[in-house]
Amino acid sequence: MSTFILIHGAWHGAWCWYKLVPRLEKAGHTVIAPDLPAMGRDRTSVKRVSLATWRDHICELLDAASEPVVLVGHSRGGIVISEAAQHRPHRIRTLVYLAAFLPANGESLFDIAGRDTLSLVGPNMMMSDDKTSSVIRAEALREAFYGECSDEDFALARLCVQAEPTVPLATPVQITAERFGTVPRIYVECLRDKAIPLSLQRQMQAATPCQRVAQIDTDHSPFFSRVDELASLLCSL
């Protein structure tokens, strides 16, 4: 059995894993699904959050775990797990990039996203007046993130998505082959993703190859739309 730490993506919180956590636990695994600072139920101000803030939060969880973990990052969570792997490579058994940003050294999320012209996220991202956070236009949420999800799950998401801090998205990731590069990586492609299109997923893999690639034929939110398939895939690790 394994310990999983699940890192949510932008505008989300631990709530997005509500279907996946009990399935993994039923299979005998230990699961930790935190809210990152300023996200979900965490009340930290978005103005106080950096990529290092999120990285250090995850490193504390890694240090407290009883064994090396399977660290799963969805979407924006990919930059966070990459940073954590650089600082705690010995505490991570496997990195899983679930339709996630997979940066090369020195790249920020904005750097990667700026190379893509197909995503529905960029054209529908609205910055706050002071540029410290962003939200997604309400009318674009379903198509961008939840196209194949149930009405009930979309209703939950629509209520729970929130402002995303800007600074972590603009911060270059600092990783090395000697530390980050020693941790096995798995990429899970979402084939009908309109937030991080398949073409961009594969561009990132070409630049930072993974030892294994799996596929789920769904939208950007397989924790809702294909949760049984996702749980089975993670258990197979």
- The residues carrying an active-site annotation are 75, 193, 220
DSSP SS3 for 17: helix
Q: Strand 133-136 vs strand 164-165: parallel, antiparallel, or unpaired?
A: antiparallel
Q: Strand 92-98 vs strand 69-74: parallel, antiparallel, or unpaired?
A: parallel
Q: Is the dihedral of CA 159, 154, 117, 109 positive or negative?
A: positive
Question: 185: which strand partners?
Answer: 95
CA 145 from centre of chain: 13
- Give the type of residue at 33: A
Among 9, 36, 13, 8, smallest CA distance to 159 is for 13
Strands (E), the chain: 3-7, 30-32, 69-74, 92-98, 125-127, 133-136, 164-165, 185-190, 212-216
Q: How many CB atoms lie within 10 A of CB 68?
A: 17
CB 204 within 8 A of CB 129: no
